[in-house]
Each structure stands twice: as C-alpha cells, then as structure tokens.
Amino acid sequence: MKVIAIILARAGSKGLPKKNLLTLAGKPLLAHSIEQARASGVCDVVLVTTEDERIAQVARQYGAEVPFMRPPELSDDVTPAEPVIRHALMTYEAMTKQHFDIVVYLQPTDVFRTPALIRECVERLIKNPDLDSVFAAYKTHKNFWRKSPDGSYERLAEDLATYESRQYRKEYLYREDAGLACASRAFLAREGKRIGRKVDLVITEDFKTSIDIHSPFDFWIADKIMGEWSDAELQKKPNVPSSFEMNGDEAWLGKDLKSWSQSIRNGYIRSFIIFALHETGVFEALRREGAKTTEELAKACSVNAHLLDGILHFLLHADRVLVKENGRFSFTERGKWLFEDPVLAMSFGAVGGYSCLLYELVATLRNEKRYGVDFERRGDLLAKGSYYTGRRSYPWVVSELTRLGIQTVADLGCGLADVLIEFCRIHPPLKGVGVDISKEALREAKKRVQEAGFSDRIRLVHGDITRPESFSKAVKEVEAFNGIMVFHEFLREGEDAVIEMFRRMKKEFPGRYLVVGEFDRLSDDEFEAMPFPDRIHLLFYQHVIHPLTWQGLPMEKERWLSLFGRAGLEVVTVKEDFPFRLVCFILRFS
C-alpha cells in the first residue's frame, strides 16, 4: 500500500505569528513533524501544504515535498483541515500520476509524537482491512461535563462517572489526538473526510501530547520540556545534576578534571558503539519494532548476543538514549537524536570512514606510514557520511533543477547512488545517471537502486570524473551534473587541476548545468567566536580529515567563486544557509 503523509503548515497564525518557523529545540517547529514522518519508515511521501514560500523552503530543506502552493481560499484561519487535505492529495496524485491508499494527517503544532506512533497507526490500518481510520488518543481518568441548551450542565459518559482513585478505575474516556497521528483510507480524504466511522485507537498516556502549540505559553512550555524533560530518565531523576546539561561552554567541556576526562572516555566509547549499532542495523530494528530484549535484537540482526548485551548496557548507563524495562530495551525521547543527520554523518563518516586516520596517527606523525599508501579510508562508509552531510541541500537542489527545466541529472562520483535515489524520491518526474570510477561501487549501487524501485529512472555508468570524455557518450540526455562534496577531493593536485577538469567538462557538455556543493572554510577568529559544541564537526572536517588525508584544504566561498571564474563557468545561483557550512553553487557551462 502506498502511504502519503500530509502536513498542514499555514503562515497566517494569529495566536503565535510565524509559529511554524520558530526555532524549537534547535530547528523550526515544522521540521519536527517532517522528520518524525520520515523516521517512521512507513510514509512513501511526506508532503507539506502551505501558501508561504519561506515555509515551503524550510519544508524542502528538511526532506518534505512541496511541489505546489496552497491556494489562498484554503489558507485563511477559518478553513477546516478536510478540504486542505483533499486538495493536497488530489493535486499531488494528478501531478505525479500516483495513487495512494492511506493518508497520514499530522499537525506541526503537535510535536510530542514518536515515529513509532505514526508507524503503529499505519500498520494497524494495513493489517485490518475493516478499519477506516486509526488515530492517537489520550487515556484520561477525568470526568467531563457540557452545557445544555437550557443553560444547565450535564455529565458526559454518565455510565463512566466515578470518584474512585484513578488506580482503581476500570473504564476510561479517550481524547482524540488526530493531529498527533491519524492514518485513514485515502478514499475518505477524497470525499473531504478526515476520519471514517470504523476506527481503532492507539492509546497514549504521555501528558506531553496535550501540548498543542498555538500561543507563546504553549511554545515556551514545549521548548522547556524538549530542553530539560525530554526523556523518561530525566522524569525519574529530576534533581540529578549533570555537567553535560549545564549552561555554558565550560560546563559542556567539563566543569572539573573528573567530568572533563570522563566525558572524553565516554565520547570515545560511545562514538564506536553508535557506529556499530547503526552499521549492524540494531538501532533501526529497535526503532522499527519497538522494545526488544538483547536476544531478540541479536537474532534479528545476526550479531553476537553476549557482545551486544555489554554495549547496550554501557549505552544505557552512559547516556540517556535508552531505557530498560522488564528486560527490554527501547529508545527514550532523546533516542531519536541517533537518527539525526549530524549523528549519522559523524557515525558513518568520522567513525566508520575515517577512524583509520586516528588509529594510525602516531605512525603518520612519525612518517612511518602514509595515508593512501599504507592505509586508506573505507569508501562505502564515507559515501554514507557524505550523504547525511549534504542531505539538507537536496530538496533545494531538486527545486532549482526543476525551475531550470531539468529532467535528467547525472551524479558525479555517485558511490552507492544514495543521492540520486533521494533526488528521485523528492521529485518523481526526475531521472538520473550515476557516474563512478569504482566498478565495485556501481555494482552495489545497482542493488540499492533496484531495492528502491528506481531501476526505470536511474542508470549507472562507469567513468572518470577527471576525464569527462570517458563517459560523455553515455550521458547524452543529461542536462545537469551534480557534484556535492566531490570537487574538493581533487584540490590535492592544486587549483589548476580542478580548473582544468571544469574546462574539459565545459568542452564536453556546453550549455549544461553543474551543481557544486562545498564546505566554506572558517578563519581562526570565526572558530573562536563560536560556542564549543558548534565548532567540533567543522574543526574535524577542516583541520583533521583534510590534512591527514593529504587532500587540498577546504576553501572559502570566495575562492571557489574565483576558481569558477578562471574556469570560464557562469554562476547562476549561490545558496549558503545549509548545515555544516555547506555552500551550493548552480553553474553553467556557457
């Protein structure tokens, strides 16, 4: 069954102006719902419907599709959700020629949901064909009253009325929280309905789900909860001090020798554990299937149960991303951070791909070994890390390619084809060609393309980027080339070598477009002006990875622009507000 998540994000809020763009726990409010839908693993498409271009831009940045704008007549503060959902579904289906079976409705003002909650709603609907809708509901022991037309008050659910202690209550009322998560048959949305008659409820008892952000106070309390009460461990131990949660850079580094030295030990061990549990699929199994014992996880992921039990218990007690109840491990609210791009980029890139640099650091400092001769990074893991580093730029890149009328794009140094697969997911009409010098990578990429269902839209070609003539005949239909986090690799040969590469591409592909995405180098003064937590990823990229792999050092945006000018490339667009100091350039071989 095909599932589409539709998120309603209007700009004209009166109670809390521009609320969907306000920063909550480090990211726009809207981003939380998008990432929760994507992380659920059951939504084939995550669609945001809005009338505001800025909201659309943020939605694309965080991985949602916004292929059209909501019409003004569906964008005022009295329009109910049903016609908006109907318009979004039917417009998207007509535009993409796709047909969806299930519509997931999410309100961006409801942020205290988990991906598992969305997944549970969808899976129950799939398993039971008799159901019309499945939605979240909060179990309450309270009694409710309403005012009658004659002015008197009457009790609701008289048969459930009781004043016993809540622990002894046998029956409950359930508050509908459809904005938190609601999955319904798509035919209902086409009929202008949100919920059908035959329903099932996914019961929650988490009071945080009561917070629906519509006022400054709602926003303040949500921000407080996310910052200070974000998981079960904190609720159990509200008065436990932690040097990791104190304010200020000094506290982040460690308020004394003990906390500083042990945070180094903890971070060192955790980084390898997090990488290993991602790489073996343990984290994904835990996210997908919910609470599991060590033995169940070991069996599901074909790993050693004895070893897994040790590192799970380390993570349980050294961090706040796991809890253990009745012998089963599960994620806390903070556990969702494990699936955020900065952590995934660190896990697969810094730890998986580049840990060899640190293993061999003593030998390389003594000139006993040299990178590229005696040892080398793992290219498959580096490709994964680079994907998560650049992923936030992909929706914008695809929107720019669409604006320019591009129908087929080639990804240079495609690796495992993750970028092309993401491009095709974002914009269904787009087609892609992957170019890579590694035949082994192309073989693996072919499997991934097949698994993603894009064999009819993505071709793979063997070719050397430095010699564009080696693949030019195979990409005749290509109108644009993508090279995000690619060209800095060749700076080890000097700027002139990269300029020559661009000139050769210009000769082979006149009139076509080129997307370049590169890191914008920081000065010492810029680093010193940053809080410590903001520096680390950038420092590692700029001052560790590149020097230790003998690559050309990252360049400032201005130097890249100068290089493009010397190569005779036309600069069409520059965008520089992506994470990780990534700057994207749209160029043309004019």
CATH classification at residue 474:
3.40.50.150
CATH number of the domain at 256, please.
1.10.10.10
**CATH code (residue 81):** 3.90.550.10
102 has pLDDT over 60: yes
Question: Per the structure block, which two tokens stand in for 403?
Answer: 């604006």
The predicted model gives 6-35 an average pLDDT of: 88
**More confident of the two residues 481 and 243:** 481
Do 34 and 48 touch, CB atoms closer than 8 A?
A: yes
Are 551 and 420 in a shared domain?
A: yes
Q: Are residues 427 and 498 in the same domain?
A: yes
pLDDT confidence of residue 107: 94
Domain termination site, one of 313, 339, 365? 339
Question: Are 192 and 247 part of one and the same domain?
Answer: no
Same domain? For 245 and 335 the reply is yes
Same domain, 333 and 417: no
314 and 453, same structural domain?
Answer: no
Classify burial at 6, counting beta carbons within 10 Å of its beta carbon; exposed 0-12, middle 13-18, buried 19 or more: buried
The neighbouring-strand residues paired with 185 are 102
98 is written with which tokens?
Answer: 């796709």
- State the pLDDT at residue 167: 45
Q: Are residues 185 and 85 in the same domain?
A: yes
**For 281, left (φ over 0), alpha (ψ -120 to 50), or beta?**
left
Answer positive or negative: Cα dihedral of 119, 122, 127, 128: positive
578 or 505, higher pLDDT: 505
- Show which of 311, 339, 367 is a domain's final residue: 339
**440 — pLDDT class (breaks 50, 70, 90):** confident
Contact 55, 254 (CB under 8 A): no
Residue 252 banded pLDDT, cuts 50, 70, 90:
low
In a domain, 246, yes or no: yes
Question: Are 82 and 192 in contact, with CB atoms under 8 Å apart?
Answer: yes
Whole-angstrom distance, CA of residue 488 vs CA of residue 390: 14
- Can you tell me the distance from the alpha carbon of 488 to that of 585, in angstroms, rounded to the nearest whole number? 14
Considering the domain boundaries, does residue 143 fall inside one? no
Q: Once rounded to an integer, what is the mean pLDDT over residues 186-210?
A: 90
How do strand 513-519 and strand 480-484 relate by DSSP bridges? parallel
Q: What is the mean pLDDT of the chain?
A: 88
- pLDDT given at position 148: 87
* Domain-located, residue 363: no
229: pLDDT confidence band, cut at 50, 70 and 90? low
- Residue 251: pLDDT above 70? no
Give the tens place of pLDDT for each residue, 363-404.
Answer: 999 999 999 899 998 878 887 888 888 887 888 899 999 999
Q: pLDDT, tens digit, for every residue of 138-166? A: 888 778 888 889 888 888 876 666 655 44
Shared domain for 194 and 273, answered yes or no, is no
Q: Is the pLDDT of residue 242 over 70?
A: no
Same domain, 253 and 197: no
**Banded model confidence at residue 247, pLDDT cuts 50, 70, 90:** very low
**How many domains would you assign to the chain?**
3
Query: What's the pLDDT score for residue 306?
Result: 96
Q: pLDDT tens-digit profile of 113-129?
A: 989 899 999 999 999 99
Look up tokens 């079976």; give the residue. Answer: 101
For residues 519-541, average pLDDT: 86
According to DSSP H, which parts of 139-212 are helical? 186-190
Whether residues 192 and 296 share a domain: the answer is no
Per the structure, the complete domain to which residue 471 belongs is given by: 389-588
pLDDT, residue 154, reads 85
**Pairwise CA distance, residues 230 & 565, whole Å:** 49
| Model confidence pLDDT, tens digit, residues 174-196 | 888 889 999 999 999 999 999 99
Q: Does residue 106 fall inside a structural domain?
A: yes
Residue 271 to residue 261: CA distance in whole angstroms:
16
Q: Tens digits of per-residue pLDDT, 266-286?
A: 999 999 999 999 999 999 999
For residue 171, the model assigns a pLDDT of 65
Whether the predicted pLDDT of 234 surpasses 50: no
SS3 of 561, please? helix
Mean pLDDT for the stretch of residues 75-100: 92
Lowest mean pLDDT among 55-69, 157-171, 452-466: 157-171
Q: Is residue 167 part of a domain?
A: no
Asked if the structure places residue 225 within a domain, the reply is no
**Does residue 373 belong to any structural domain of this protein?**
no
Amino acid identity of residue 358, one-letter, is L
Q: Indicate if 551 and 411 belong to the same structural domain.
A: yes
Whether 156 is covered by a domain: the verdict is no
Q: Are 294 and 236 in a shared domain?
A: yes
Percent share of the chain, pLDDT over 70: 93
Question: DSSP per residue over 492-549, as a string?
Answer: GG-HHHHHHHHHHHHHHSTT-EEEEEEE-PPPHHHHHTS-HHHHHHHHHIIIIIHHHT
